[in-house]
């Protein structure tokens, strides 16, 4: 085996500590900058029943649409663009496209349309972009970023017509898309009426774990230098819990020899809630508000090594929180 394959990909973990009541707390900013979320998990120690407020928030998560064979230029058409670009919480992302070999499209609520393109598609489209930062010696991928809120892209301007012409005439990009509900339901419904689509809802599951060992955490000791568990070990344990991997290192187990890190204590039960689907940052923040006592930006996502792209809030009863943001070795540093 090559030496490079024997090593695990380096990952990046950024941790910070604050309090939800602190006016300088950045927890809302971090959530809002993580535009696309597939899975949200909640682990509540010493709990055996989903609290009613949590259940209400999760059941109220906004549904989303899966639209088949949607041309990208439809997102820029005059009857749709003014009602979505930079307004409210509208997101769109191409579905079943692979970032290492396909063209991938994303529209953020800020109004930025991001096209991650192969070399051939980029040259055919003819729009100004930049080489992907994850190219090898020769540029094989390019990224085009269009700010749809910019006055130069107002419908009717020369630049708008040039961009629209590129997407309609030079290269028609068609993909299945996931769309959140628009602030202008009328414009969205008009678009949906022209393409096969289905309305989807996130999947919800819950599990109760009994007699489970948990790492010991103290709000003031985020780095685990004295009494608390180290952040890396804590996240490893949290992943094992979410995947229902035993942390007991039982003598008769040949599947896992993993054990809960020290220091640790045993709790009689813990509730694990999981929501999967297309989840908007606004829904994540609503859940965080209910969980607290009162996930970045537009950086390019790497694909050459690893694939970590997640964040974790640890909430304490005194309203302190820890925020751990993990990315792959070649992703941009979280804000």
pLDDT in single tens digits along all 335 residues of the chain: 555 555 666 677 888 899 988 999 999 998 998 899 999 999 988 888 898 989 999 999 999 999 999 999 999 988 888 777 766 688 999 999 988 889 999 999 888 999 999 999 999 999 999 998 877 788 889 999 999 999 999 888 999 999 999 999 999 999 999 999 866 678 889 899 999 999 999 999 999 999 888 888 888 888 777 788 888 888 999 988 888 887 776 656 566 678 888 888 888 999 999 999 999 999 999 999 888 743 344 556 555 555 556 789 899 888 898 898 876 655 554 55
Are the CB atoms for 142 and 125 separated by under 8 Å? no
Q: How many alpha carbons fall within 13 Å on the CB side of residue 178?
A: 22
Q: Which of 167, 109, 107, 117 is nearest to 140 (CA)?
A: 117
d(CA 247, CA 27): 30
At 176 the three-state DSSP class reads strand
At 256 the three-state DSSP class reads coil
Q: Any idea where the domains of the chain sit in the sequence?
A: 3-62+202-328, 64-200
In 225-308, at which residue ranges do the beta strands (DSSP E only) sit?
A: 264-279
**pTM value?**
0.84
Q: Which two tokens stand for residue 17?
A: 């500590």
């Amino acid at each position: 085996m090559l030496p490079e394959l024997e090593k695990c990909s380096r990952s990046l973990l950024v941790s910070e500590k604050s309090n939800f009541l602190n006016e300088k707390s950045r927890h809302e900013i971090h959530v809002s900058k993580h535009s696309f979320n597939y899975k949200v998990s909640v682990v509540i120690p010493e709990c055996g029943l989903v609290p009613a407020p949590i259940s209400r928030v999760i059941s109220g998560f906004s549904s989303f649409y899966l639209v088949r064979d949607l041309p990208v230029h439809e997102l820029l058409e005059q009857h749709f663009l003014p009602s979505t670009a930079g307004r409210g919480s509208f997101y769109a992302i191409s579905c079943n496209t692979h970032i290492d070999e396909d063209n991938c499209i994303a529209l953020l609520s800020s109004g930025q349309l991001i096209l991650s393109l192969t070399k051939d598609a980029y040259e055919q489209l003819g729009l100004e972009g930049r080489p992907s930062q994850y190219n090898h010696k020769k540029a094989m991928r390019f990224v085009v970023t269009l700010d749809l809120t910019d006055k130069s892209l107002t419908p009717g301007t020369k630049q708008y017509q040039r961009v629209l012409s590129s997407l309609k005439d030079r290269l028609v990009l068609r993909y299945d898309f996931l769309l959140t509900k628009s602030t202008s339901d009328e414009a969205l419904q008009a678009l949906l009426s022209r393409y096969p689509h289905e309305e989807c809802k996130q999947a919800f599951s819950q599990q109760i774990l009994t007699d489970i060992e948990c790492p010991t955490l103290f709000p003031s000791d985020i780095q685990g230098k004295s009494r608390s568990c180290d952040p890396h070990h804590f996240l490893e344990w949290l992943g094992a819990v979410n995947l229902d991997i035993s942390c007991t290192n039982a003598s008769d187990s040949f599947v896992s020899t993993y054990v809960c890190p020290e220091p640790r204590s045993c709790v009689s039960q813990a509730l694990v809630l999981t929501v999967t689907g297309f989840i908007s940052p606004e829904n994540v923040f609503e859940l965080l508000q209910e969980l607290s006592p009162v996930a970045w930006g537009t950086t390019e996502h790497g694909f050459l090594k690893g694939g970590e792209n997640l964040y974790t809030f640890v909430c304490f009863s005194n309203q302190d929180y820890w925020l751990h943001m993990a990315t792959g070795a070649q992703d941009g540093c979280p804000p």
